[in-house]
Amino acid sequence: MALKEISKNKCFNGHVVKYEHVSQELQCTIKFNVFLPAEALSCSAPQKVPAIYFLSGLTCTEDNFTQKSGAMAEAAKHGIALIMPDTSPRGVPIEGDEDSWDFGTGAGFYLDATHPKWAKHYRMYSYVVKELPALIYKELPIDETRVSIMGHSMGGHGALTIYLKNPEKYRSVSALSPIAHPTQCPWGQKAFSNYLDANDKEAWKEYDTVELLKKKPTQLQQQNVLIDVGTADGFLEKELLIDHLERVTKELNVEKQWKIRYQEGYDHSYFFIATFIADHIQHHAAALK
């Protein structure tokens, strides 16, 4: 499980480091990026710093958010590390895993597959929640008691569902353009019907933000969630289904805890992410103090 450093670049007095390791969960070699702020790198008195996991969307690798979001500038102000994993296993011997852009490679959907064809390698849920954190907390100066999670699109789905299922692990959560109700949209239905049992739609609900909220977890009233989505997002009505999420938060009387903001004229791109990423870092910084 040892980390192999692939590259290191100075950034806002910290470093962006790319690591590689052999994953037991994914049964392949996988890469991830980490931004370590200056506080974690001090020669005289290095500190364990808080961290935010960022989960990326369909087709992305660990590099998209790292290179395009501008998040390091705001994270450096607060002395916060950023952890950017890949979105799926890579180079695994599964027929058809590179046939489409919204399924297979680059589209792990942050779940643990149960269908025999995919179950050996497609275990991004356990990788993000268990294996990667255990490795990072052992080898890097990250304070595991001060950790949050956020994501975009498929990664927003991942961040919200992972947080709801593991509230004790994360101080806060946020999402940009998340796939809010994947059991009811084409992207989610394609993924779940292949990765999971196509006939067991109750099992699908374990990876669906709207369905998880309906279970009324006991911690609901203590949550503080930030969600941004652009009104010009081409996926808003068919794939993201933010209105379904908005409706259930009102039904559960937690719309104040689940702050959903519609940003006029913004789309699904990294221009949108770069515009609002400082708000999201600040949201988490308040929880990570």
CA distance from start to end of the chain: 30
Q: Is 148 a catalytic residue?
A: no
Number of domains in the chain: 1
| CB contact at 8 A, 245 and 239 | no
Confidence band for 45, pLDDT divided at 50, 70 and 90: confident
Enumerate residues 6+ apart whose C-beta is below 8 A from 184.
Answer: 210, 241, 244
**Residue 184's closest CA among 220, 209, 216?**
209
| CB contact at 8 A, 244 and 180 | yes
- Looking at 78, 121, 268, 280, which residue is catalytic? 268
187 is in which domain, residue-wise?
Answer: 4-288
- Looking at 233, 280, 283, 284, which residue is catalytic? 233
Burial of 96 (0-12, 13-18, 19+ CB in 10 A): exposed
Cα distances from 101 to residues 41, 56, 179, in angstroms, run 38, 14, 16
Q: Which residue has the higher pLDDT, 226 or 45?
A: 226
Question: Tell me, what's the pLDDT at 217?
Answer: 60
Dihedrals φ, ψ of 254, to 5°? -125, 25
CB atoms within 10 A of CB 13: 10
Question: Does the pLDDT at position 63 exceed 70?
Answer: yes
Q: What is the CA radius of gyration of the chain?
A: 18
Question: Tell me, what's the pLDDT at 218?
Answer: 54
Q: Is 153 a catalytic residue?
A: yes
How many angstroms separate the CA atoms of 153 and 215, rounded?
Answer: 23
Question: Tell me, what's the pLDDT at 283?
Answer: 98
Question: Tell me, what's the pLDDT at 221?
Answer: 64
CATH number of residue 282's parent domain: 3.40.50.1820
0.95 surpassed by pTM: yes
Q: Is 233 a catalytic residue?
A: yes
- Looking at 23, 69, 88, 153, which residue is catalytic? 153
Confidence band for 265, pLDDT divided at 50, 70 and 90: very high
139's tokens? 């080898």
The overall average pLDDT reported for the chain is: 96
Enumerate residues 6+ apart whose C-beta is below 8 A from 126.
Answer: 25, 112
